[in-house]
Amino acid sequence: MLEINVPGIAGIKANGHAVFSVRLGLMEASYDFEGTVGEIRISVKLKNTGPSAIKIGALQLLTIEKVTEPVYYNNWQSWLPFKAYWEQPLVKPLVEFADASGSSLFNATPMPELLRSNIRPSDYFIATDEIVAGFLSGEVSHPYFTWNDERENIEVWVELFGKSLSPEEELQLEELVVFHDGTLWGMLENYAERIHYHSKVNFSEFEGVGWCSWYQYFTNIDFDELKRNTGLLRELRDREGIPYSLVQLDDGYQKDIGDWLETNEKFPDLSVVASTIRENGFTAGLWLAPFSVSETSDVFMNHSDWLVHGFDGKPKLAYRNWNKRIYALDTTNPEAMAYLIRTMKSLREAGFDYIKIDFLFAGAIPGKRFDSALTPVEAYRLGMNSIRESLGDDCFILGCGAPLLPSVGFVDGMRIGADTAPSWNPDVMDIGIPSAKFSIRNAFTRSFMHRRLWLNDPDTVILRDCELTEDEKRAFVLSVGLLDGMVIQSDDLSKVSDDGFALLKEALELTGGDVRVFLDGMNGVFAACTKAAEKYNVTAFVNLTDTVRHSIKLKDMYYQWSGVKASVEEVDLLPRKIWFERTETMARNLKKRVEVREDGRHFNYYTDEPERKSDS
């Protein structure tokens, strides 16, 4: 039975309607609880009842009692995990790693003081096998949860970063919903659906297979290699029938981090790069980190006032990379905003119709901004809205390294895990360090976000001979197809064997399905099923661990979802391997489009084609 306590008030009932107010110092907090079968919606409005302005920092809203493990924690941005914990998450190793590397903790949280106090937050939502509690948007505050395994409770917090409220001024906080009936995976899906409708999410489809330069060339990519691979892609598309559609140039073309419109000595003008890709029949894609500015860039040298500052008056370190200090663009500064808009419009004019925006968390770090009235979350959304509007609805935007909830509605696709790598890397710290294992792990745990908040990007498949074994490659690539994520490849195409291309084709046969991942507290072994797929419905198990898993049962609920009648009753699964059985699809889900007429009437239209944005 769900038990919720508000500071000063105990025992809020899960069903029915309750409205009340509590005093929080000089503030009044008005609560509105609306309970229905299986869920409760909670709205909180703050009011400054004092005689002068106040600044609001971290605020505890309520406590969920009698929580049992495992507890599923979500990190605030793309690269870090959503996974199960059976005991209090360790914090010290993460802090020590950041301090030893000389970096900041903003990669892991917008509230580093929490980590330094040995508190690990779960950002935006949290889950157990009995409940899913999450906020429907991140517009002003940063919502988070903390779990105390000794007290067996979850505290619900919002951080407002010192936002000021004038006397009698009110502030409506983001709505919270708590699901408390059903399966974990069903509640997670319902949560994502609720976000979808709350934010009126719309996104463009990603068609075919993309190619990205990063995991083969990293920053060593040059124009000759880009042209050569573009030509090979055209040949493979025509000869092998692989539906290659996108060529995305990643990091390595730009003069510096922040100087995005100037290429280095390895590349011609960006318009030449885009036209070369387009002339071969592909969408031209480009990577950049729009909120990041390096200490050696022209932007930093000439416009340091465009950056987020610390209260010491100096630009505030966002993170370290490229052997440089990286600072954050202040999107509340009118001149910085004009630069951001000019950059995005110039990329469209150059011919790029697919833009990957990376290291986005930099735009949401706390600090001193031009407009001090806005929280970091509001500043981030201001920047994201300008990017969306400047690029246009007909440009596909892929987010990466992004604060997840505040990005909903601004991107078409979203990276939902760590960078992959041409090696399994199972022993690295699970804090976003490149790892094929952790990359695909998050594709399973965050699968419920796919086609509800955006298209999930599990990161690229790697098909060439490399440190990945054939079993590891097969587990990764087929999981990408099974989970229906964006399929993007990163190889020197001349180094991929016929077997590699055959594996890609096999994965493509698994795409297009309605996916369900049956989470059960195991962070390395997953059961996943699809229905209404393009070609095959699938029941699958994947073992990402280094331990053999014996006697994995084929449960009735797998058959009920996929319709795949397995030939065995249980499976023994070796380490780093995938097992699946499939059956030809007999039915497909229809996509619904709702048209609202001027008189208020709703008309529903159904099609088997994917939803797309309008051209307007």
Q: Would you name the residues annotated as active-site residues? A: 358, 419
Q: At what angle do helices 223-240 and 498-508 cross, to 10 degrees?
A: 70
Placement of tokens 């590699």 in the chain:
500
How many residues does the structure list for the chain? 616
Structural contact between residues 517 and 447, judged by C-beta atoms closer than 8 angstroms? yes
Phi, psi of 142 (to 5 degrees): -110, 105
Instruction: Give the other-Cβ count within 10 Å of 616's Cβ.
Output: 5
In angstroms, the CA 310 to CA 112 distance is 14
Residue 44: its H or E element: strand 39-48
Instruction: Give the other-Cβ count within 10 Å of 305's Cβ.
Output: 12
In angstroms, the CA 560 to CA 538 distance is 12
How would you write 101-149 as a 3-class SS string? HCCCCCCCCCCHHHHHCCCCCEECEEECCCCEEEECCCCCCEEEEEEEC
Token pair of 490 as six digits:
């990163």
- Asked if the bond preceding 70 is cis, omega within 30° of 0, the reply is yes
Instruction: Give the other-Cβ count within 10 Å of 155's Cβ.
Output: 18
Q: Please tell me what DSSP assigns to residue 602.
A: E
CA dihedral 130, 136, 141, 144 (to 10 degrees): 20
Partner residues linked to 368 by β-bridges = 309
Token pair of 113 as six digits:
């003081």
Name every residue whose Cβ is closer than 8 Å to that of residue 129 and which is 6 or more positions away in sequence. Answer: 68, 70, 184, 521
CA atoms within a 13 Å half-sphere pointing along the CA-CB vector of 476: 29
Q: Which of 105, 93, 172 is nearest to 137 (CA)?
A: 172
Q: Which of 595, 593, 598 is nearest to 608 (CA)?
A: 593
**CB < 8 Å & 24+ apart, contacts of 15-19:** 15/40
Q: Which of 511, 405, 501 is nearest to 458 (CA)?
A: 511
Q: Which of 137, 133, 148 is nearest to 184 (CA)?
A: 133
CA atoms within a 13 Å half-sphere pointing along the CA-CB vector of 316: 23
In angstroms, the CA 144 to CA 14 distance is 21
In angstroms, the CA 268 to CA 262 distance is 9
Instruction: Give the other-Cβ count within 10 Å of 441's Cβ.
Output: 24
